[in-house]
């Protein structure tokens, strides 16, 4: 039996900074180990048009074509991309994956003409799909963890259990990607200005919580062994000379014991690294912050989300304002670690007062390594907030969501009692205050600050839906719509 050919299309984000597609790289690795010929088509880096992609597909033949995406990119990019692929894929199966299609598999299959949606962990699924496409074994109806389409009928197979032993997976297949263009494409928060070679990796999957605005592909939290993670870090340093890392884990720190093991084994190997990561506030105290600093952490992201305990309770955050304060104070007391203070406003229970206290919190605890602004929550399909919006008659379903969604910094569903014009007026005033505060404290160019404020004004007024927000905003990274 032949081993098969697989193409992964990394869709365009219409920007000049792009994260390495880590999920696809894991799928490529298991396919490579199964003997498949794997190709990648990086529209994100090179901005090839769909017409160029169509010509490429006409000149080549594949067994599977994979596209992964988030819901936010569906209408903007992916829907038309899938239509192009379905017209030119010949006999290949078009397979969709990621948070976007996994939340609405039947809807996505009908709207895109794709053949399969892989739901959740897909490393085992993708190999079985390739074998099924080539030989008919296993039959598509027997492959767990997928929804699939035959004509107008959509079938849902049994769920596939999450992969518990993450060490059993091969390391990402970096060699199949144009690494020279991904390395350093994004200047991560906390990364020194004179350091260019950076890359993201992941040491765990999942989260211990289930916030209302999150869509969980799998329940539970799974970790790679510390030795397995350090092997990857060492390889990236030796092979690609990586100088700064971003851990993309939703929750890098599980507990103090694991973090101490990470520190000890870094020392045993004589490794010195610098990195950014994310953590829950209820794990952080002064001791943990100190261990992080000794390990090389230069920036940490906290999902603070709100300064109002009632709002935190309603969003099922399982934290409190007191815990938020304790965590950020611990990090700031240790020093040397930048803070990303993520806050939302416009959730169930939010008021003008909660917006004011959110702004005050950021200004009080900000250490100004990143422009911080506040955005409204988006009830993405698959989240409890989406289901709440459906139940309350605030959304009618996926068509309504995608017709109304344009940008995650814009209001989509108003969960407050405020009129929409007042909502945007308050949000603009809050973000103007935060932007000016940042530029004053950092000695930044106030002309640039005013330009950033105008970006928000244009976004809120509907004049520019393509602005990507302030967090990655620099003059060189301003969005260039292709």
The answer to whether the CB of 311 falls within 8 A of the CB of 288 is no
Instruction: Tell me: do 293 and 200 sit in the same domain.
Output: yes
**Residue 41: strand, helix, or coil:** strand
Q: Angle formed by the axes of helices 321-334 and 286-295, to 10°?
A: 50
Mean pLDDT (the chain, rounded)? 94
Instruction: Tell me: do 16 and 63 sit in the same domain.
Output: yes
Average pLDDT over residues 345-370: 96
Per-residue confidence band for 477, with pLDDT thresholds at 50, 70 and 90: very low
- % of the chain with per-residue pLDDT over 70: 97
Is the peptide bond between 312 and the residue preceding it cis, with omega within 30 degrees of 0? no
Please check whether residue 16 lies inside any domain of the structure. yes
Q: Of 156, 171, 191, which marks where a domain is finished? A: 156
CATH number, domain containing residue 45: 3.40.50.2300
Comparing 480 with 428, the larger pLDDT belongs to 428
Please check whether residue 282 lies inside any domain of the structure. yes
Instruction: Tell me: do 110 and 247 sit in the same domain.
Output: no
Average pLDDT over residues 129-151: 96
What pLDDT does 468 receive?
78
Instruction: Tell me: do 135 and 200 sit in the same domain.
Output: no
Is the pLDDT at 196 greater than 70? The verdict is yes
Please check whether residue 470 lies inside any domain of the structure. no
Is the pLDDT at 478 greater than 60? The verdict is no
Q: Which long-range contacts (CB under 8 A, 24 or more apart) does 439-446 make?
A: 441/366, 441/368, 442/368
**3-class SS string, 417-476:** CCCHHHHHHHHHHHHHHHHHHHHHHHCCCHHHHHHHHHHHHHHHCCCCCCCCCCCCCCHH
What pLDDT does 254 receive?
81
What pLDDT does 209 receive?
87
Instruction: Tell me: do 198 and 114 sit in the same domain.
Output: no
Domain extent at residue 126 = 5-156
- Residues 81-102 as b/e (b if ≥16 CB within 10 A, e otherwise) read bbebbeebbeebbbbbbbbbbb
In Å, how far are 251, 319, 365 from 254, measured between CA atoms? 7, 16, 24
Per-residue confidence band for 18, with pLDDT thresholds at 50, 70 and 90: very high
Per-residue confidence band for 410, with pLDDT thresholds at 50, 70 and 90: very high
Please check whether residue 103 lies inside any domain of the structure. yes
Average pLDDT over residues 333-351: 96
What pLDDT does 472 receive?
53
Q: Of 200, 178, 204, 182, which Cα lies nearest the Cα of 191?
A: 200
Please check whether residue 212 lies inside any domain of the structure. yes
Instruction: Tell me: do 49 and 139 sit in the same domain.
Output: yes
Is the pLDDT at 432 greater than 80? The verdict is yes
CATH number, domain containing residue 269: 3.20.20.70
Instruction: Tell me: do 216 and 140 sit in the same domain.
Output: no
Instruction: Tell me: do 360 and 319 sit in the same domain.
Output: yes
What pLDDT does 476 receive?
37
Please check whether residue 473 lies inside any domain of the structure. no
Which tokens go with 340?
A: 């990303």
Q: Dump pLDDT digits (tens) for 204-220.
A: 999 888 899 998 777 78
Instruction: Tell me: do 268 and 132 sit in the same domain.
Output: no
Is the pLDDT at 168 greater than 90? The verdict is yes
Q: Of 365, 384, 419, which marks where a domain is finished? A: 419
Instruction: Tell me: do 301 and 412 sit in the same domain.
Output: yes
**DSSP strand pairing (93-97 vs 116-118):** parallel
Please check whether residue 36 lies inside any domain of the structure. yes
Q: Dump pLDDT digits (tens) for 71-117.
A: 999 999 999 999 999 999 999 999 999 999 999 999 999 999 999 99
Is the pLDDT at 169 greater than 70? The verdict is yes
Please check whether residue 339 lies inside any domain of the structure. yes
Is the pLDDT at 396 greater than 60? The verdict is yes
What pLDDT does 471 receive?
62
Instruction: Tell me: do 28 and 118 sit in the same domain.
Output: yes
In Å, how far are 43, 137, 191, 200 from 186, measured between CA atoms? 16, 42, 10, 10
Is the pLDDT at 30 greater than 90? The verdict is yes
- A 10 A CB-CB count for 232 gives 16
Instruction: Tell me: do 94 and 191 sit in the same domain.
Output: no
What pLDDT does 292 receive?
97
Q: Dump pLDDT digits (tens) for 230-282.
A: 999 999 999 999 999 999 999 998 889 999 999 999 999 999 999 999 999 99
**Residue 253: strand, helix, or coil:** coil
- pTM, rounded to two decimals: 0.94
Domain count, the chain: 2
Q: Of 401, 419, 437, which marks where a domain is finished? A: 419
């Amino acid at each position: 039996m032949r081993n098969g050919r697989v193409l992964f299309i990394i869709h365009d984000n219409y920007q000049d900074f792009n994260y390495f597609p880590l999920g696809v790289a894991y799928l490529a690795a298991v396919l490579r180990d199964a003997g498949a010929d794997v190709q990648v088509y990086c529209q994100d880096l090179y901005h090839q048009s769909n017409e160029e992609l169509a010509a490429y597909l006409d000149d080549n033949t594949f067994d599977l074509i994979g596209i992964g995406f988030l819901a936010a990119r569906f209408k903007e990019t992916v829907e038309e991309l899938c239509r192009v692929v379905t017209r030119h894929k010949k006999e290949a199966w078009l397979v969709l994956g990621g948070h976007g299609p996994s939340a609405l598999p039947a809807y996505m299959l009908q709207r895109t003409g794709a053949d399969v949606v892989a739901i959740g962990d897909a490393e085992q699924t993708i190999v079985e799909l390739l074998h099924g496409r080539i030989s008919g074994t296993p039959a598509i109806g027997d492959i767990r963890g997928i929804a699939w389409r035959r004509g107008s009928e959509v079938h849902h197979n049994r769920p596939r259990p999450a992969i518990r032993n993450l060490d059993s997976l091969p390391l990402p297949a970096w060699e199949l990607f144009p690494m020279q263009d991904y390395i350093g494409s994004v200047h991560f928060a906390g990364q020194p200005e004179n350091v260019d070679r950076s890359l993201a990796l992941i040491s765990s999957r999942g989260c211990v919580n289930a916030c209302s605005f999150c869509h969980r592909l799998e329940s539970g939290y799974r970790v790679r062994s510390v030795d397995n993670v350090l092997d990857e870090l060492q390889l990236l340093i030796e092979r690609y000379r990586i100088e700064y890392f971003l851990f993309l884990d939703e929750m890098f720190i599980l507990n103090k014991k694991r973090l101490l093991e990470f520190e000890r084994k870094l020392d045993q190997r004589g490794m010195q690294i610098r990195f950014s990561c994310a953590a829950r506030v209820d794990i952080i105290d002064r001791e943990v912050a100190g261990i992080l600093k000794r390990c090389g952490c230069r920036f940490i992201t906290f999902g603070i989300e709100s300064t109002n305990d009632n709002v935190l309770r309603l969003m099922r955050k399982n934290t409190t304002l007191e815990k938020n304060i304790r965590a950020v104070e611990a990090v700031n007391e240790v020093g040397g670690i930048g803070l990303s203070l993520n806050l939302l406003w416009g959730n169930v229970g939010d008021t003008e007062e909660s917006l004011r206290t959110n702004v005050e919190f950021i200004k009080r605890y900000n250490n100004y390594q990143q422009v911080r602004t506040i955005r409204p929550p988006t009830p993405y399909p698959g989240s409890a907030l989406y289901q709440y919006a459906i139940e309350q008659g605030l959304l009618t379903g996926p068509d309504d969501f995608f017709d109304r969604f344009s940008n995650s910094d814009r209001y989509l569903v108003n969960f407050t009692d405020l009129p929409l014009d007042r909502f945007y007026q308050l949000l603009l005033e809050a973000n103007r205050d935060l932007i000016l505060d940042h530029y004053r404290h950092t000695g930044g160019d106030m002309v640039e600050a005013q330009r950033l404020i105008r970006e928000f004004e244009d976004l809120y007024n509907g004049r520019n839906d393509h602005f990507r927000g302030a967090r990655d905003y620099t003059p060189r990274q301003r969005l260039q719509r292709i």
